[in-house]
Structure formats: C-alpha cells, structure tokens
Structure 1
Amino acid sequence: MAADDQPESAGVRVWDRVVRSFHWALVLSFATAWLTRHSSEDIHHWAGYAAAALIALRLVWGILGTPYARFSQFVRGPAAVLSYLCAMLSGREARHIGHNPAGGAMVVALIAVMSATALTGWLMTMDAFFGVPWVEAAHSLAAHGLLLLVLVHIGGVTLASFRHRENLVRAMITGRKREAEQADIP
C-alpha cells in the first residue's frame, strides 16, 4: 500500500508527495553539489541547477499547495519563533502537526541560503562574473552557511523527534504523523 493510501488510523496526512519529493531531491542535489565541488564541475553545476529548479517549485507549492505545504501555515514572525525557542530551552515546547515555528524559520532560511548558493554559483559560470573574487567568496560563504544550516536542521529534527516521541524522518518519507493530541497545535 502506498504511503498516501494508508488508512486514517495510520495517522494524519501532513506532507504531500510534492513536499516529500522536493525535500529528498533537495537533499540529494545539495549532497551531490557538495561532494563534487572539487572533482566534477559538470555534475556540480547540474546539481546546482537542480537545486534552483527545486526551490522555484517549492516557492510555487508554498503558495498553491496543500494546507501543510503552504507558507501561510508555518511561517511565523520573529516573536513566535523566539517564544518557541525559549519554550524548547525549558523543555515545554508544544508539538505541532505541521512545522513548528522554529522549523518554519529553518525552511525559510534553507530556501534563502540555497537560493543564494545557486545564484552565486550560476554567476560564476557567466563571463561577466567568472573569476570575480567577491562572487567566489559569496558562493563559498553561502555554501558553507548552507552546510551549517543543514546540520542545525538535522539537530532540530532529532531533538523534536526525541522530545515528542515521533520519528520525523519517517514522517517525511510517509507523509504521515500521529494524530493530534489535546495539547498539540494543528
């Protein structure tokens, strides 16, 4: 039985196939670009182009997609993010069915920095910017910043999985999370 065809008793459907496919394809494109940065220019470039195309798709899907895919569902202001982070530090953060405020901020940060990495990488292939030191420095800074964000993201997913007794990696594969409990935020 396909993950999206599971009975409702298997949990609530949160992340649709577009979001899940985007997520894992972006993981693959970033890992490919990172691992080929010094060895295969063509593969590195195509991984960057794939990442840029995926980001464009996600931006559209963040407006037109299913409810939990929409930015309006999970992007919160700085005060909400800070409040959530403070609750995390005290071990009192609420479980969210979709992205929590910190996770939403991370999605925005990852999209922004991935976009900057792809843009500066593309600029480096153009005659007007080839070999220009500030473009190369910006690309390197963005790529290293992206790696740092990915590591923080993995840490946040691990912490949330542990705290809320829920395997978020499996949820990003199946699209389903356990049903909301009374204290959870839909």
Structure 2
Amino acid sequence: MTVASADHSLETQKKTGAPVWDLPLRLFHWLFAGSVAAAWGLGKFGPDVMTLHFWFGYAVLALIAFRLIWGFIGSETARFSSFVYSPKTLFSYIAKLPKRQASNWKGHSPLGGLFVFLLLGVIGAQAALGLFADPEDYINVGPLASWAGIDSVRTALAWHGILARATLILVVLHVAAIFFYRLWKREDLVTPMIKGSRKAK
C-alpha cells in the first residue's frame, strides 16, 4: 500500500459531475450499514435467542472481507492506496475544514479515509470477538467459543460490548459529519453514494 501523494490538493482532486463510487462499493456501503444497524439493534433490544444477531454479525464479517479485497482490486477511489495520506496532507485538510465551501474531494478525503480504516477496524474486531463470546447462558454461544479458555471467552464478551458502544459513537459521528458537510459546507455526500457520481455544477 502506497501513501497517496500530498500533491493531490483540493483543486487537483475537484471533479464535479464525474464518477465517484463504483457500484460494488455503493452496494457494500448500504449493505454494511444495514447489517451493522441490524446486528447492533438485535444485540441491544432483540430477543433472548440471538440467532438473527449472529447471522447479521456473519454478514458484517463477510462484507468486511469483501471490502478488504475490493480495497486492492476495485476502482480508483475504492482502493486503499487512494486514501492513505501523509500527516501533512491530513492536517492541511483539517485546517481548511471550517471554511464554508465544498471540497468536492475525489473519493475519500484525508479525514474520511482515516475514518474508514477506524470504522472497519473497530466493527471488524467487534464482530470477530463475537465469534468467541460466551455469555454462559448455554444459548448465545459464539461458534468459536469452544476453542478458547473460560478467561478468553469472558474477555471476548466484555470487549464485544465495549466495541459495540464504540461502534455507536462512530456511527453517530459519521451521521453528524454528513450533516456538517451538507449544512455548513454545502456538500452532498449521500447522493454520490447512491448514484455513483457527484452532481455537476
């Protein structure tokens, strides 16, 4: 994985009306959002027998596996190498963030790219730990819990809950960022993730 060039300034990456996200990435995004929301909701408010919670957890892991593969073979904006930026580029972007103007960054911005890695890492770890969790109710036992010792499955269960709360915080931040860009910077981040391209100006 190479670091994206710091020369990719806001001006050189500005492409209104051009394709932004490919179809597989857009499908991943919405399926991932739905699966994470369903797994979290079922885990928090669902029935005592968490069969559906487990299945949505498996879906989350499968989607992350796809995203990891697509991060190397997908279109330009889907590849990890396109949104791994140097600290200089990241801090430069953050410094310009308060300006009330759309950046129209092609693909993930430096801050957005960092958030992608954080989100995938936290949710991936949270879902993987669920495979080893054992709440000792003899019902909702992770499929790999028998491979670990009692201390390990209890630790997995504890961290599964901690990272579930972290996931909620990240999702709230993600939604807040969408509103910030829409209301303050006059930049629509949702439509390109639906249609694949940014509206021409």
**Alignment length (residue pairs):** 171
Q: TM-score, normalised by structure 2?
A: 0.77
**What SS class does the counterpart of residue 21 from structure 1 fall into?**
helix
Are 1:75 and 1:101, in contact at CA under 8 Å, matched by a contact in 2?
A: yes
Aligned to 1:86: 95
In structure 1, stretches of 5+ residues that fail to align are 1-9, 182-186
Query: Among 95, 105, 115, which residue is 2:114 paired with?
Result: 105
Q: Single out whichever of 94-103 and 18-27 deviates more from structure 2.
A: 94-103
Structural mapping, 1:30-109, within 5 Å: 30-37=36-43, 38-39=46-47, 40-89=49-98, 91=100, 94-109=103-118
Structure 1 residue 72: Cα displacement: 1.1
Q: Single out whichever of 37-46 and 23-32 deviates more from structure 2.
A: 37-46
**What SS class does the counterpart of residue 132 from structure 2 fall into?**
helix
CA RMSD of aligned residues (A): 2.2
Are 1:87 and 1:93, in contact at CA under 8 Å, matched by a contact in 2?
A: no
**Which stretches of structure 1, 4 residues or more, deviate above 6 A after TM superposition?**
none
Query: Among 189, 196, 200, which residue is 1:168 paired with?
Result: 189
Supply the distance in 2 between the matched residues of 1:165 and 1:102 (Cα, whole angstroms).
17
Aligned to 1:154: 175
Question: In 2 relative to 1, CA 130–91 (structure 1 residues): closer, same or farther, beyond 3 Å?
Answer: farther
**Structure 1 residue 24 and structure 2 residue 33: aligned?**
no
- Cα distance per residue 1:41-60 (max 9 Å; x no partner): 11101111100000010011
Structure 1 residue 129: Cα displacement: 5.3
- Cα distance per residue 1:20-45 (max 9 Å; x no partner): 00000011101110111142411101
Higher helix fraction (1 or 2):
1
